[in-house]
Structure 1
Amino acid sequence: MESCKVAFFCWESLYAERVGGLANAATNLAETLVKQNHEVHYFTRGSIPDQTINGVQYHYCRPYGQNIVEYCNDMSKAMVSQFRTHDSPGKFDFLHFHDWHPVQALHYLQDRNTILTYHSTEYGRNGNQFGDWWEFREISGKEWYGGLIAKRVTAVSATLRNEVMTLYNVPEEKCEVIPNGIVPRAYRASIDPGEVKASYGIHPYAPLILFIGRLVYQKGPDLLIEAIRKVCQHRGDAKVVVAGTGDMRQFLQDRAKDLPVNFVGYIPDSEYIRLLNAADVVVIPSRNEPFGLVLLEAWSAEKCVVASNVGGLSENIDAFVNGIKVGVDPDSIAWGISTMVDEPWNAGALGIRGRNKVDRLFLWGPIVQRLTGAYSRVVA
Structure 2
Amino acid sequence: MNKVNNLKILHINPYPPDHLGGSEVFCKNLAINLKKKKNFDSDILTSDILKKNVKFDYLDGSIKIFYKKNYYSLWGINPLVNIYSFLKKNYQNYDVIHVHSYLFLTSLQSALFRKIRKFPYVLHIHGGIQTPQNLSSGLIERAQLGFKNMFFDKWIGSFTMKTADALISVSKKDLDIIKKRFNIQHNHKYYIPNGVNTEIFNKKKENGKMFVTFIGRLSYIKGFDIFMNVIKELYKNNKDLNFLIIGKGPLKKLIKPAQKNLPILHSDYYPHEKMVDIYNHSKVVLITSRFEGVPTTMLESLACETPVIASNVGGIPEVIRNDENGLLIENFNTKSAVTKIIDVLHDQDKSRTFGKNGRKLVLKDFSWDVITDKIEMVYKNFTS
Shorter-normalised TM range: 0.7 to 0.9
Correspondence for 1:28: 29
- SS at 1:325's partner residue? strand
CA distance in 2 between counterparts of 1:225 and 1:336 reads 16
CA distance in 2 between counterparts of 1:122 and 1:218 reads 14
Question: Residues 157 and 280 of structure 1: is their aligned pair in 2 closer, same or farther, counting only changes over 3 Å?
Answer: same
Correspondence for 2:226: 223
Question: Does the CA contact (< 8 Å) of 1:42 and 1:59 recur in 2?
Answer: yes
Question: Does the CA contact (< 8 Å) of 2:87 and 2:113 recur in 1?
Answer: no
CA deviation map 1:41-68 (0-9, x unaligned): 2111223232333332221111212624
Q: Is 1:312 aligned to residue 318 of structure 2?
A: no
- SS at 2:84's partner residue? helix
Correspondence for 2:184: 170
Which of 47, 56, 68 does residue 50 from structure 1 map onto? 56
CA deviation map 1:243-292 (0-9, x unaligned): 21110111354466544433333334466433321111111111111111
Which of 338, 350, 354 does residue 354 from structure 2 map onto? 350
CA distance in 1 between counterparts of 2:357 and 2:8 reads 38
Question: Does the CA contact (< 8 Å) of 1:253 and 1:263 recur in 2?
Answer: no
Matches within 5 A, 1:88-237: 88=92, 91-99=93-101, 100-101=103-104, 102-106=106-110, 107-110=112-115, 111-121=118-128, 123-124=130-131, 131-133=142-144, 135-136=147-148, 137=150, 139-140=152-153, 141-171=155-185, 173-188=187-202, 190=204, 192-194=206-208, 197=209, 208-237=211-240
CA distance in 2 between counterparts of 1:53 and 1:230 reads 44
- SS at 1:97's partner residue? strand
CA distance in 2 between counterparts of 1:171 and 1:275 reads 42
Q: Which moved more, 1:173-182 or 1:246-255?
A: 246-255
CA distance in 2 between counterparts of 1:172 and 1:325 reads 34
Question: Does the CA contact (< 8 Å) of 1:193 and 1:279 recur in 2?
Answer: no
- SS at 1:109's partner residue? helix
Which of 280, 288, 293 does residue 290 from structure 1 map onto? 293
Matches within 5 A, 1:262-273: 262-269=265-272, 272-273=275-276
CA distance in 1 between counterparts of 2:169 and 2:56 reads 29
CA distance in 1 between counterparts of 2:75 and 2:132 reads 15
Question: Residues 170 and 252 of structure 1: is their aligned pair in 2 closer, same or farther, counting only changes over 3 Å?
Answer: farther
Measure how far apart 1:340 and its partner are. 0.6
Aligned length: 362
- SS at 1:185's partner residue? coil
CA deviation map 1:58-106 (0-9, x unaligned): 211112126249964x42xx32322333345xx4222111112222222
Measure how far apart 1:4 and its partner are. 2.2
The residue type equivalent to 1:108 in the other structure is F
Question: Does the CA contact (< 8 Å) of 2:55 and 2:68 recur in 1?
Answer: no
CA distance in 2 between counterparts of 1:271 and 1:378 reads 37
Question: Residues 40 and 264 of structure 1: is their aligned pair in 2 closer, same or farther, counting only changes over 3 Å?
Answer: closer
Question: Does the CA contact (< 8 Å) of 1:280 and 1:344 recur in 2?
Answer: no
Question: Residues 258 and 52 of structure 1: is their aligned pair in 2 closer, same or farther, counting only changes over 3 Å?
Answer: closer
Q: Is 1:80 aligned to residue 87 of structure 2?
A: no
The residue type equivalent to 2:364 in the other structure is R
Correspondence for 1:200: none
Question: Residues 66 and 234 of structure 1: is their aligned pair in 2 closer, same or farther, counting only changes over 3 Å?
Answer: closer
Q: Which moved more, 1:367-376 or 1:165-174?
A: 165-174
Measure how far apart 1:26 and its partner are. 0.8
CA distance in 2 between counterparts of 1:59 and 1:325 reads 41
CA deviation map 1:155-205 (0-9, x unaligned): 1010121232333222262422111101123233645332xx2xxxxxxxx
The residue type equivalent to 1:13 in the other structure is P
Runs of at least 5 residues in structure 2 that lack an aligned partner in the other structure: none
Question: Does the CA contact (< 8 Å) of 1:6 and 1:96 recur in 2?
Answer: yes
- SS at 1:51's partner residue? strand
- Aligned-residue CA RMSD (Å): 2.7
Give aligned-pair identity as a percent: 21
Measure how far apart 1:235 and its partner are. 2.4
Matches within 5 A, 1:238-249: 238-249=241-252
Which of 36, 40, 43 does residue 42 from structure 2 map onto? 40
Measure how far apart 1:233 and its partner are. 3.5
Correspondence for 2:366: 362
Correspondence for 1:64: 71
Which of 8, 13, 26 does residue 10 from structure 1 map onto? 13
Q: Is 1:276 aligned to residue 279 of structure 2?
A: yes
- SS at 1:311's partner residue? coil
Runs of at least 5 residues in structure 1 that lack an aligned partner in the other structure: 198-206
